[in-house]
Amino acid sequence: MVIAIIGILIALLLPAVQAAREAARRMQCSNTTKQITLATHTFHDAHKRLPCNGNDPLWTSYLRTSNNTSMGYTSHYNYLTLLLPYIEQTAYYQGIVSEFETRRAAGENDVIYPGNGAAGTALTGTITVFQCPSDGNAKLKTGATELNRNSYMASKGDAWKAFDSPGNRGAFSSGNRAVNGLESITDGTSNTVFISETLVSPINNADRDSKYKTAVVREFATIDYNTATTFNLPSDCVAVRGNEGEVVDTYLSRANGRKGHRWASTMGAYSNFMTVLPPNSPSCDETTNDYPEKAGIISASSNHTGGVNVGLGDGSVKFVSETVDSGNRQDEGTNPKSNSKSIYGVWGSAGSIASGESVTLP
């Protein structure tokens, strides 16, 4: 009888303990989101602009000795690599700088590609601050040459374009044609999303990712991967969501489009998200090859109940519900034009920096 009572008490207490632990993890994730968002301001103080998520002048200024052009792959280093000194990770930053300078001094044309690693380089270290404690996949890593995982993505706004396209409407430009300063955010920093968490895809996933919160999928005419067609509309991406957290069985994930892998890379799902589909929606790729260069729609996602933490441009953090208004035009097949109002509701407007809409996230 006593044992039965103890069993009942444990059964009653266990959900409460689990809820308390998740609340603590969510708070830790919120604090990290805030830390990274504030680091963008410290970077702005130092450089009078925001970091670029790719093609940043600090990296592309490393020139080849042969022809005075940018060393290869410097354009692929993302916003997180630039923020390292401002989140107490100076040693990693100096490691990247040392790697660049060593290769340039040796007359090499390229730096280490941030999609790969090599034992002993700064790219392969474990940076726990980039890993949301609620996401077990973010903490997984195998071997000395595996790259760290990343849970915190930069907003490309409400335009689903290639990773290096100058046409994204988010705070972090691609840098190849322009850079953004805080003065570029005419909708107001308190109304503009900078950072969000995104669940990392499983590691060593030879059979492809089947979970809609972590997979990056593309539309398939049949189950045969080689007969894939491209998706054209956000509604096509919504359609990949099946039951019980799975993608429907007529879709497969990208082989190399895993969200949150390759922490230093600016490409596609490695460090970007879009405010097109609401949090915890599927993510889809519009390319016809097997790499995420032109990731179509990458959605914010988390294991927190009902939504995600986002960092706003004023340095504050807000928990945004997965039911946030994302517009009534989910079938819109074109990206918003420059400086036009968002077609993706409050969520889309919060991602764009200069759409003429000062919306407040609920």
List pLDDT tens digits, range 196-253: 999 998 865 555 777 889 888 865 333 333 444 555 678 878 888 888 888 886 666 5
Select from 81, 91, 82, 96 the least CA-distant residue to 50: 82
What is the rounded average pLDDT for all residues in the chain?
80
Q: How far is CA 97 from the centre of its chain?
A: 23
What is the model's pLDDT at position 136?
Answer: 85
**Burial of residue 79, with CB atoms counted within 10 A of its CB: 0-12 exposed, 13-18 middle, 19 or more buried:** buried
- Is residue 2's pLDDT more than 70? no
Confidence (pTM)? 0.87
Q: Strand runs (DSSP E) across 229-355, as ranges?
A: 252-253, 272-273, 283-284, 307-312, 317-321
Strand order of the β-sheet with 272-273 is 272-273, 152-155, 193-197, 307-312, 317-321
Tokens representing 240 are 């990949």
Give the integer Cα–Cα distance in Å for 269 and 351.
17
Other beta carbons within 10 angstroms of residue 305's beta carbon come to 11
DSSP state of 335: P
Q: Which residues of 80-111 are buried (b: 16+ CB within 10 A; e: fewer)?
A: bbbbbbbbebeebbebbbebbeebbeeeeeeb
Other beta carbons within 10 angstroms of residue 58's beta carbon come to 16
Half-sphere exposure of 140 (CA within 13 A, CB side): 13
Query: Using H for helix, E for strand and C for coil, what is the string for 281-309?
Result: CCEECCCCCCCCCCCCECCCCCCCCCEEE
Contacts of residue 292, defined as CB under 8 A and 6 or more positions apart, other chains included, come to 163, 216, 254, 256, 257, 267, 268, 269, 270, 285
What is the model's pLDDT at position 329?
Answer: 59
What is the model's pLDDT at position 314?
Answer: 95
Other beta carbons within 10 angstroms of residue 12's beta carbon come to 9
Other beta carbons within 10 angstroms of residue 217's beta carbon come to 25
pLDDT band at 56 (very low <50, low <70, confident <90, very high): very high
Residues 99-153 pLDDT 10s: 899 999 998 998 888 876 565 577 887 788 999 988 988 887 766 667 888 999 9
- Is residue 328's pLDDT more than 70? no
Select from 259, 256, 264 the least CA-distant residue to 122: 264
* Whether the Cβ atoms of residue 322 and residue 346 lie closer than 8 Å to each other: no
Select from 204, 225, 209 the least CA-distant residue to 283: 209
Residues 64-78 pLDDT 10s: 988 889 999 999 999
- Is residue 162's pLDDT more than 80? no
Other beta carbons within 10 angstroms of residue 46's beta carbon come to 10
Tokens representing 333 are 């097949």
Residues 19-31 pLDDT 10s: 556 566 768 889 9
Higher pLDDT, 262 or 45: 45
For the segment 149-169, the average pLDDT, to the nearest whole number, is 80
What CA dihedral angle connects 114, 118, 121 and 125, to 10 degrees? 80
**Burial of residue 223, with CB atoms counted within 10 A of its CB: 0-12 exposed, 13-18 middle, 19 or more buried:** exposed
For the segment 7-24, the average pLDDT, to the nearest whole number, is 55
Contacts of residue 256, defined as CB under 8 A and 6 or more positions apart, other chains included, come to 290, 291, 292
Q: Which residues of 232-260 are buried (b: 16+ CB within 10 A; e: fewer)?
A: ebbebbbbbbbeeeebeeebbbbebbbbb
